Homo-oligomer: A and B are copies of this chain.
Amino acid sequence: MADWLTRTLLSAAGAVINGWSWLSGEASATVVNQIVGSTRNRPHPWSTLSDYTSWDSLTDRTFFARHLPAATAPRMPPVEQVQVMFRRPPGGQRTSSKSTCLFPAFAQYLTDGFIRTNPVDPRRTTTNHEIDLCTLYGRNRTQTLALRLLSQDDGRRGRLKSQMIADEEFPPFLYPNGDRIADPQFDALDPTLFSHAQTTPPQAPYPPATMTPEKLATIFAVGGDRVNSTPFSAMVNTLLMREHNRIARQLEIQNPGWDDERLFQTTRNIMIPIFIKIVVEDYINHITPMPFSLHADPAVAWTANWNRPNWIAAEFSLLYRWHSLMPDTIIWTDAQIALADFTTDNRPLLRTGLDAAFSAAARQPAGELGAQNTGDSLLPVEIFAVSQARLNRLDTYNHYRVQFGMPAARSFADITHNPDVANLLESLYETPDNVEFYPGLFAEDRVQDSPLPGLMMRMVAVDAFSQALTNPLLSEHVFNASTFTTWGLNLIGATHSVADLVARNVPRRGETPIVMTQPTWSYVNTP
């Protein structure tokens, strides 16, 4: 299954490998171009707006793009039957031998800012189509202003609002009185989503009556409507908020003439490439099945013919439903928390602090992504995804394999070596050509040495590279010291991982390494 990426990486690596740890810039560029070149570049000819191409479909970015045109699935078994594909059989959750829970924690935070299906109409999206850290800063200028500490209110300049709790910096609370009334200074923010699942119709913009005042009092006022969905997500956001305020403080010292606005904007300029560096060099490198790492070199995109305006595709609003990565029980420093209790409740984070939170995430193995590994509580989410794929009329699994440069599966054994899953697929779909996109993605064998199955890994890699490295802050005439300051440019260059941000911003660091890849992991395919 890993043949394609393995070959791609090895062909690049064969030429220039730096001590089997980081690929050189040139070799990284070759790999990135080969991966992205496995499918058609943008602009996509189709969107979810209409079944044919029109000026509206080419310009209305509130609809998702499509990698393949709308198609009616040849066979749509009742969703209750498809559900069996996902349901975990008795015997407990399979866990990943590669990923820690920092991997799903980061994946959720990244995708909640970037994919963003419109909860009222799943054909549409509320994304800005850029990695813009809207989870931290809000989706628009009004939201950003609500989150900023304006210097007329405070001597400090360029900062985000925050509060100190037991010597640690956290975002402000949204419900400071513990009642269901949000602080009016945050009225411009998107309402917090209190359910982990997509819901139709959307939640009312206030917390459900079942939320206890104790939980409610810990909800943060932040840019993203899902940042409070788990303490892991709130933990990533808190880290980024601290890094923002740390950078603003440094820039303020270095540039005493700058006003609040310039300090804030330049800090944000630095923060977004730092986040993108982590996306490529920590997160994507964790996903690839190779023991050496790719550099996030913005120059790769400067001459690439895949450098075209980003446009999130409908396929991506589905393929990132990685709920089986989350363990049934989260092992916190001071408690074991059932997954169902791990939502919209920041008490564990506030109680033990940021080091304990990251240590918990980085110590515990994640669940394994794939068929028959979803707990009962999350099965409705999988079913919702199957229905959403049908509503968006996504083409078959095999057609997407071909679109991303893989051969069509000719037998069910081409999809999975697990005979139970193969039999299940056959009972549902009769032939491989009938397999639907979403169940097919998850039915596949996991790629050896990767946390993902093959088609999903390709699609994630293609979109990550072709939409992260096209960020305007990384463009040829912007990625320089004028935009970031020399200090800021060096800081971007020196950042490679979540661990780097933790080291800068978390007091009283413990001994747990902050990693997405388990420290005991060893690659089977090491050349």
Contacts and interface: CB of A to CB of B under 8 A. Distances in A.
A29 to B, nearest CB: 14
A407 B269 CA distance: 34
A483 interface: yes
Contact of A268 (B54, B272, B475): B54
A508 interface: no
Interface string A275-309: 00000000000000000000000000011010111
Interface stretch (A43-51, A433-441, A489-497): A43-51
B477 A55 contact: no
A266 B43 contact: no
A359 B472 CA distance: 47
A42 B261 CA distance: 25
A130 B478 CA distance: 23
A265 interface: yes
Contacts of A177: none
Given A53-B482, A55-B268, A41 B476 contact: yes
Contact of A43 (B44, B141, B303, B472): B472
Contacts of A477: 40-41, 43-45
Contacts of A41: 476-477
Given A308-B307, A309-B309, A472-B59, A45 B265 contact: no
A56 B53 CA distance: 30
A320 interface: no
Contact of A472 (B58, B130, B473): B58
Interface string A56-68: 1011100000000
Contacts of A444: none
Contacts of A265: 50, 52, 54-56
Nearest to A53: B483
Contacts of A141: 56, 60
A345 interface: no
Interface string A20-50: 0000000000000000000011111100001
Interface string A394-416: 00000000000000000000000
A262 interface: yes
Q: How many copies does the complex hold?
A: 2
A52 B478 contact: no
A112 interface: no
A368 interface: no
Nearest to A310: B309
A493 to B, nearest CB: 18
A369 to B, nearest CB: 31
Interface string A461-483: 00000000000110111100011
A107 to B, nearest CB: 23
A132 interface: yes
B482 A269 contact: no
A262 B56 CA distance: 11
A137 B56 CA distance: 12
A269 B54 contact: yes
Central interface residue in A40, A141, A262, A477, by most chain B CB within 10 Å: A477
Contacts of A268: 54-55
Contacts of A307: 305, 307-308
A209 to B, nearest CB: 38
B308 A305 contact: no
A141 B476 CA distance: 34
Contacts of A309: 309
Contacts of A53: 269, 478, 482-483
A55 B132 contact: yes
A269 to B, nearest CB: 6
13 contacts: A45-B477, A45-B482, A50-B265, A52-B262, A52-B482, A53-B269, A55-B268, A56-B265, A58-B478, A59-B130, A59-B132, A59-B472, A305-B307
